[in-house]
């Protein structure tokens, strides 16, 4: 009996043939398998040498290169979208002498500001989001840092060149935005009445738990005796790790969020031989511009 001139490609041997292929998409496997069986079935058994097999595979690879790409699935599209969002950054300015610059991060040497321009911090509005306060010792991750190059910014004042541009993830800015209106107080100096506190002595609201004598003028808000201060919620314990270790009296401090921006007047004080202007609390305005993080009672 004369043997058949050709036979179907053995299913158990198809995997060996597929190993010759450099496949990029698993969705092509079924197409390739079918094409391999049809093509090889036309080749006489006596000619199925290794070289001829490679030629057949090369032809199949050419066929695959001409196939249209499969449309992306919903999951694939969402993954690509998240990858693009992860690359989004926002640029802000910092005053370089206030920071230690390291690869991928900035560390604040003192209380300082993250600003939308190189303008003087006292000329920028905190309630309008033109600047955001950062206490000393904060490690701020960044994506990139560079010198100031914008001619408009460089022309603002002679200290513009002392600034740096930094690119941050939006989530970093969201955390800082949520802390606007946040202050710390020394609990023994205050009487509590729900969401209103009243100063028992002339005292301070502070931007950190540091001793008031160690703070810069803009980090202090002087509150005269008997002046009430309205809050978003009752005072809470200090939870920030960078605040809890500043000194041995931190446990007597509380964190508060003002329900409205403070109204202040300027007053001069002597700090050593240096004259400083600090703010005196005289009341509160409306709540425009303040964004508070949730407070856990």
pLDDT surpasses 70 at 86: no
- Could you tell me if 278 and 223 lie in one domain? yes
Q: What pLDDT, on the 0 to 100 scale, is given for residue 205? A: 96
Range of the domain at 121: 86-180
Mean predicted confidence (pLDDT) in 120-131: 91
Q: In whole angstroms, what separates CA 157 from the centre of its chain?
A: 29
Domain boundary pick from 110, 145, 180: 180
What mean pLDDT do residues 183-187 have?
Answer: 96
257: β partners: 182
Domain annotation covers residue 249: yes
Picking from 180, 202, 230, the residue at the C-terminal end of a domain is 180
Residue 191 sits in the same domain as residue 161 = no
Residue 295 lies in a domain: no
Classify residue 27: in a domain, yes or no. Answer: no
Distances (CA, A) of 173 to 24, 103, 250, 256: 40, 19, 26, 20
Residue bearing the bigger pLDDT, 280 or 43: 280
Concatenating the DSSP letter of every residue in 227-260 gives: -EEEBSS--EE---HHHHTS-TTGGGEEEEEBSS
Q: Give the mean pLDDT of 76-82.
A: 72
- Candidates 200, 183, 187; CA nearest to 249 is 187
Q: What is the pLDDT of residue 243?
A: 92
Q: Looking at the 3D structure of the chain, how many domains does it have? A: 2
- Residue 294 pLDDT: 37
Give mean pLDDT, residues 108-133: 93
Together in a domain, 208 and 264: yes
Query: Is the domain of 122 the same as that of 163?
Result: yes
Q: Considering only residues 119 and 67, tell me which one the structure prediction assigns the higher pLDDT.
A: 119
Domain-embedded: residue 42: no
pLDDT at 14: 53
Together in a domain, 198 and 270: yes
Q: Are both 169 and 187 inside the same structural domain?
A: no
Question: Does any domain span residue 49?
Answer: no
The CB-side HSE value for 203 (13 A sphere, CA atoms) comes to 22
On the question of pLDDT at 201 being above 80, the answer is yes
pLDDT at 286: 65
- Same domain for 186 and 280, yes or no, is yes
Same domain, 172 and 224: no
Residue 46 in any domain: the answer is no
Q: What percent of the chain shows pLDDT beyond 90?
A: 50
The answer on 172 and 195 residing in a single domain is no
Q: What mean pLDDT is predicted for residues 189-202?
A: 94
Q: Is the pLDDT of residue 287 over 50?
A: no
Rounded to the nearest integer, the mean pLDDT of the chain is 80
Whether 70 is in a domain gets the answer: no
- Of 180, 213, 237, which marks where a domain is finished? 180
How confident is the model over 106-134, as a mean pLDDT? Answer: 93
Q: Which DSSP string do the residues of 208-219 spell out, in sequence order?
A: SSS-GGGS-GGG
Residue at 18 is within a domain:
no
Residues 114 and 194 in one domain: no
Looking at residue 67, its pLDDT comes to: 63
Residues 193 and 174 in one domain: no
The answer on 197 and 151 residing in a single domain is no
Per-residue pLDDT reduced to its tens digit, 19-55: 555 444 444 555 555 555 555 555 555 445 666 777 7
């Amino acid at each position: 009996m004369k043997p058949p001139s050709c036979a179907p490609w053995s299913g158990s041997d198809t995997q060996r043939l597929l190993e010759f292929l450099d496949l990029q998409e698993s969705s092509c496997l079924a197409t390739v398998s079918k094409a391999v069986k049809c093509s090889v079935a036309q080749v006489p058994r006596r000619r199925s040498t290794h070289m001829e097999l490679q030629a057949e595979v090369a032809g199949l690879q050419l066929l695959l290169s001409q196939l249209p790409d499969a449309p992306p699935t919903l999951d694939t599209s969402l993954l690509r979208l998240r990858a693009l969002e992860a690359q989004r950054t926002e640029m802000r300015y910092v005053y370089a002498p206030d920071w230690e610059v390291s690869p991928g991060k900035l560390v604040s040497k003192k209380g300082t500001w993250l600003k939308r321009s190189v303008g003087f911090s006292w000329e920028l509005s905190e309630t309008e989001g033109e600047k955001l306060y950062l206490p000393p010792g904060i490690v701020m991750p960044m994506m990139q840092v560079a010198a100031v190059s914008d001619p408009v910014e460089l022309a603002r004042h002679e200290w513009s060149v002392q600034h740096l541009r930094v690119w941050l993830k939006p989530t970093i800015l969201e955390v800082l935005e949520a802390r606007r209106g946040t202050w710390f107080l020394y609990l023994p100096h205050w009487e509590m009445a729900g969401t209103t506190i009243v100063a028992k002595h002339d005292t301070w609201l502070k931007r950190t738990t540091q001793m008031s004598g160690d703070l810069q003028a803009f980090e202090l808000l002087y509150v005269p005796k008997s002046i009430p201060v309205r809050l978003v919620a009752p005072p809470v314990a200090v939870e920030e790790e960078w605040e809890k270790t500043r000194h041995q009296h931190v446990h007597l401090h509380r964190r508060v969020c003002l329900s409205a921006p403070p109204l202040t007047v300027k007053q001069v004080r002597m700090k050593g031989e240096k004259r400083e202007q600090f703010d005196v609390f005289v009341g509160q305005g409306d709540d425009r511009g303040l964004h508070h993080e949730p407070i856990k009672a």
